[in-house]
Amino acid sequence: MKKDRKTYDQLRSARWYGVPTLRAFGHHSRTKQMGFAAEDYQGKPVIGIINTWSDMNSCHTHFPQRVEEIKRGVWQAGGFPVELPAMSVGEPFVKPTTMLYRNLLAMEVEELLRSHPIDGVVLMGGCDKTTPALLMAATSMNLPAIYFPAGPMLRGNYQGKVLGSGSDVWKYWAEKRAGQLSDEAWAELEDGIARSAGTCMTMGTAATMMSLAETLGFVLPGGSSIPAPDSGHARLASATGRRIVDLVWEDLKPSDILSRAAFENAITVDLALAGSTNSIVHLIAMARRAGIALDLETFDRIAARVPVLADIRPAGRFLMEDFYYAGGLRGLHARLRDFLHLDCPSVNGRTLGENTEGAAVYLDEVIRPLTNPVWESGGLAVLRGNLAPRGAVIKPPAAAKELLVHTGPAVVFKDYNDMERRIDDPALPVTADSVLVLQDAGPVGAPGMPEWGQLPIPKKLLAQGVRDMVRISDARMSGTSYGACVLHVAPESRVGGPLALVRDGDLIELDVPARRLHLHVDEAELTRRRAAWSPLPRRYGRGYGWLHAQHITQADQGCDFDFMETGFGDPVGEPEIH
Ligand code: FES
């Protein structure tokens, strides 16, 4: 629905700059203190640029240059750009996990936008949690917003072989633990795997979420697939800067873009990409911020009919750089037209269908045709059973096929430290048929539900050539990981979910076609164990970690804070402030 263009006095920033008050004197004089003349900002929309750059986020190392390019676009279009740094949550460096801080970043950005004279915002993110956090904030604040994706890094290289972020680390680490890789070779891998600025270039959480941000309508068309060092990425930055100014005048807000249909599009594309399982948690949280309840069954239902078309690691063979050359996300959208709601709007003012017109695929082996998919359907499966009453997920294309129906005895680790201590113990009673169970790795337990779900294969089994096993946890798994890993078991063990009741030797049945995860222990015994169970003390006794433990929701609800969801307390929007 077309709205009237806004006038200057309808802008938020007019409350700071457009009124003859004493406080406005301070806003003017302090803006001038920064070297801006009245004609630089007077009468213009103020465009906030949220920059998640820091020296502790290696994926965003190009943001200092990109922010200047975004500003250039804003100036060209008649806006006034202001840069607001926000926490960077760089995936490789944050302990115990960036997921602990996704909601903190979302809260920080929402309040940055609320408290400053911002009319519209460019959100600069890419490394895993930054994308959902920034979009959750923009959704709750509901200001015109464009997401600017960091873009994937270039392909890795090692002795003439192509390396993929994460996936090859797990692969070569297994070789190293099996004694088949020298320290020198390991150092060479370190040198070659991350060659440029940009996010992981496998279909990990970053590439998945950037693609989904574009599918939802928050990125200029085609933007999410451009590799970070490509000159097209710099041009995307200035185009984003130009467009956000018009978006403010047009008053096109997240609430105009987000709908159930838009989220169904995102899920469809997620599945066609064989995207990261983390996206499930993020999409649910993002949807709930928009007042839309997404349940796990929606993912399972869409998964049952959408084929995996992107042949990208870890489920496939290629990398994001290849995906870009093959036609990128617009090419994939074009292939998926029959599965998508094409009338969903996007930030360029056109619909998804209009944005897909003329898009083509140039490399059929990278973005497969519908007649030759990587996987017919079922890129994701939602499991239920007495071990996961509120659900668990598995990514079947990333697992060894013969393990998708498997029953085996449990080998239980009571937490991550226990697992690290014992996993390679030659005395560990484990065989290739065992089911490895990791407890206490969920949203409250770990805390923050770290990416520990791809438990390592015990060394003695590696030596026998075993490369995949059934593994079950309430943790997440890196999008770059693979294996028969059952993840996001809800409710988690720390809050008394049935996962906490599993003992060594219990038989566990995984049946992916039947969507079943069953603990073969009779109910009377489970009741006895439950009565004897008591919760462990929480890990953080104060501050943010304490707040997190009090208010985090479970995986099936998106792990947002209960008090941040739409529907909590007052209606979302701006309180009357002066
Ligand atoms: Fe930043 Fe993977 S480490 S995207």
Q: Mean pLDDT throughout 130-141? A: 97
The best mutation among 200, 276, 451, 481 to test binding of ligand 1, ranked by most ligand atoms within 8 Å of the C-beta, falls on 200
| Whether residue 160 sits in one domain with residue 149 | no
Question: Per-residue pLDDT tens for 82-115?
Answer: 999 999 999 999 998 999 999 999 999 999 999 9
* Res. 324 pLDDT band, cuts 50 70 90: very high
Q: Which domain does 179 fall in, by range?
A: 156-192
CATH for 89: 3.40.50.2300
Q: Verify that 148 and 268 share a domain, yes or no.
A: yes
Name which residue sits closest to atom 1 of ligand 1, judged by CA.
127
- What is the whole-number distance in angstroms between the Cα of residue 201 and the centre of ligand 1? 9
pLDDT tens readout for residues 205-245: 999 999 999 999 999 999 999 999 999 999 999 999 999 99
Q: Could you identify the atom of ligand 1 that is nearest to the CA of residue 206?
A: 4
Q: What is each CA distance from 480 to 137, 199, 274, 319, 365, in whole angstroms?
A: 26, 12, 11, 11, 20
Which of 485-489, 539-543, 566-570 tops mean pLDDT?
Answer: 485-489
- Greater pLDDT, 444 or 571: 444
Report residue 18's pLDDT band, with 50, 70 and 90 as the boundaries. very high
Q: CA 143 to CA 116: how far, in whole Å? A: 12
Q: What is the DSSP letter of 519?
A: E
Q: Which residue has the tokens 């801006």?
A: 36
Q: 117 with 224, same domain? A: yes
Instruction: Please give the helix or strand (H or E) that residue 336 lies within, else none.
Output: none
Provide the pLDDT confidence category of residue 575 given band limits of 50, 70 and 90: low
Task: Judge if 84 and 187 occupy the same domain.
Answer: no
* Confidence band, pLDDT 50/70/90 cuts, at residue 48: very high
Ligand 1 pocket test: which of 59, 95, 480 has the largest number of ligand atoms within 8 Å of its C-beta? 59
Residues 77, 216 within the same domain: yes
- Ligand 1 geometric centre to CA of 279 (Å): 14
pLDDT in tens, 368-405: 999 999 999 888 999 999 999 999 999 998 899 999 99
Domain end among 296, 324, 356: 296
Distance 91 CA to ligand 1 centre (A): 5
Which of the four pLDDT bands, split at 50, 70 and 90, describes residue 136? Answer: very high
Residues 270-279 have a mean pLDDT of 94
Amino acid residing at 31 = T
Span from the CA of 296 to the centroid of ligand 1 (angstroms): 26
Q: What is the DSSP letter of 308?
A: B
Q: What is the C-alpha to C-alpha distance for residues 45 and 79, in angstroms, rounded to an integer?
A: 5
Which of the listed residues 296, 315, 335 is the one where a domain comes to its end? 296
How many CB atoms are located within 10 Å of the residue 460 CB?
16
d(CA 484, CA 504): 19
Whether 466 has a pLDDT exceeding 90, the answer reads: yes
Q: What integer pLDDT is reported at residue 378 of this predicted model? A: 82
- Among positive and negative, which fits the CA dihedral 274, 278, 284, 285? negative
User: What pLDDT is recorded for position 138?
Assistant: 97
What is the SS3 assignment for 49? strand
Q: Report which ligand 1 atom has the smallest distance to the Cα of 204.
A: 2
Clarify whether residues 281 and 402 are in a common domain: no
pLDDT category, 1, cuts 50, 70, 90?
low
- The pLDDT value given to residue 572: 67
Same domain, 98 and 242: yes
Distance between CA atoms of residues 291 and 289, nearest Å? 5
Q: Which stretch of DSSP H or E encloses residue 517?
A: strand 516-519
Of 98, 102, 127, 170, which is best to mutate to test ligand 1, by the most ligand atoms within 8 angstroms of its C-beta? 127
Greater confidence (535 vs 358) lies with 358
For the CA of 205, the nearest atom of ligand 1: 4
Which residue out of 89, 128, 224, 451 has the highest number of ligand 1 atoms within 8 Å of its CB and is therefore the one to mutate? 128
Q: How far apart are CA 129 and CA 282, in angstroms?
A: 8
Closest atom of ligand 1 to 165 CA is 2
Q: pLDDT band at 300, cuts 50/70/90?
A: very high
Does residue 524 carry a pLDDT above 70? yes
In a domain, 163, yes or no: yes
Same domain, 103 and 229: yes
How far does the centroid of ligand 1 lie from the alpha carbon of residue 329, in Å? 19
Q: Ligand 1: distance of its center to the CA of 285 in Å?
A: 20
Strand order in the sheet with 120-125: 80-85, 46-51, 120-125, 145-149
**Can you give the pLDDT at residue 379?**
86
Considering the domain boundaries, does residue 71 fall inside one? yes
Amino acid at 441: A
pLDDT value, residue 536: 81
> Do residue 169 and residue 142 come from a single domain?
no
Same domain for 86 and 188, yes or no, is no
Question: CB burial class (10 A; 0-12, 13-18, 19+) of residue 26?
Answer: exposed
Q: Which residue lies with its CA nearest to atom 3 of ligand 1?
A: 91
Task: Establish if 341 belongs to a structural domain.
Answer: no
| Res. 482 pLDDT band, cuts 50 70 90 | confident
> Taking residues 164-190, what's their average pLDDT?
91
- Ligand 1: distance of its center to the CA of 65 in Å? 19
193: alpha, beta or left? (left if phi > 0; alpha if psi -120 to 50):
alpha
Centre of ligand 1 to C-alpha 176, Å, is 23
Give the confidence band of 443 by pLDDT, cuts at 50, 70, 90: very high
Distance CA(448)–CA(561), nearest Å, equals: 12
Cα 60 to middle of ligand 1, angstroms: 9
What is the DSSP code string of 273-287? TT--THHHHHHHHHH
Cα 230 to middle of ligand 1, angstroms: 18
480 — pLDDT class (breaks 50, 70, 90) = confident
Question: In angstroms, rounded to a whole number, what is the distance separating the alpha carbons of residues 180 and 195?
Answer: 25
213, part of any domain: yes
Q: How far is the CA of 366 from the centre of ligand 1 (A)?
A: 22
Q: Which residue has the CA at smallest separation from atom 2 of ligand 1?
A: 200
- Band (pLDDT 50/70/90 cuts) for residue 481 is confident
CA 57 to ligand 1: nearest atom:
1
Task: Indicate whether 312 belongs to any domain.
Answer: no
Torsions phi, psi for 499 (to 5 deg):
-55, -30
pLDDT score, position 191:
95
Query: Among 275, 296, 317, which residue terminates a domain?
Result: 296
Summarize the confidence of residues 46-55 as an average pLDDT: 98
Whether 330 is covered by a domain: the verdict is no
Are 462 and 352 in contact by the 8 Å Cβ rule? The answer is: no
Reply yes or no on whether the pLDDT at 57 is more than 80.
yes
- pLDDT value at position 567? 80
Which residue, among 473, 457, 308, has the nearest Cα to 383 in the 3D structure?
Answer: 473
Mutational pocket test of ligand 1: of 169, 199, 208, 477, the residue with most ligand atoms within 8 Å of the beta carbon: 199
DSSP 443: T
- Report the CATH number at residue 442: 3.50.30.80
Residue 510 Cα distances to 378, 384, 409, 413, 475, angstroms: 16, 10, 11, 19, 17
Specify the long-range contacts of residues 562-566, CB closer than 8 Å, at least 24 apart: 564/103, 564/106, 564/107, 564/136, 564/140, 564/289, 565/288, 565/289, 566/140, 566/288, 566/289, 566/290, 566/291
**Which of 65, 216, 199, 258 is closest to 479 using CA atoms?**
199
59 CA closest ligand 1 atom index: 1
Structure tokens at 41: 């900002």
Residue 141 inside a domain? The answer is: yes
CA 305 – CA 281 distance, rounded (Å):
21
The per-residue pLDDT for 568 is 82
CA 102–ligand 1 middle distance (angstroms): 14
pLDDT(121) > 90? yes
**Is pLDDT of 538 > 90?**
no
Residue 527's pLDDT band (cuts 50, 70, 90): very high
Instruction: List residues near ligand 1 (CB under 6 A).
Output: 59, 91-92, 127-128, 165, 199-200, 204, 206
Nearest atom, ligand 1, residue 58 CA: 1
pLDDT of the residue at 571:
67
Q: Are strands 507-511 and 405-413 parallel, antiparallel or unpaired?
A: antiparallel
Picking from 348, 115, 345, 119, the residue whose alpha carbon sits closest to that of residue 248 is 119
- The answer on 70 and 205 residing in a single domain is yes
Q: Given the CA of residue 480, which atom of ligand 1 is nearest to it?
A: 2
Predicted pLDDT at 236: 98
Task: Supply the pLDDT for residue 533.
Answer: 95
- Domain co-membership, 135 together with 208: yes
**Position 363 in a domain:** no
pLDDT of residue 577: 65
Position in ligand 1 atom list of the atom nearest CA 91 = 3
Average pLDDT score over the chain = 95
Burial state string for 186-215 with b = 16 or more CB within 10 A and e = fewer than 16:
eeebeebbbebbbbbbbbbbbbbbbbbbbb
Number of domains in the chain: 3
Mean pLDDT of 271-289: 96
Residue 543 CA to ligand 1 centre (angstroms): 27
Q: Which amino acid is at 562?
A: D
For residue 36, the CA-to-ligand 1 centroid distance in Å is 36
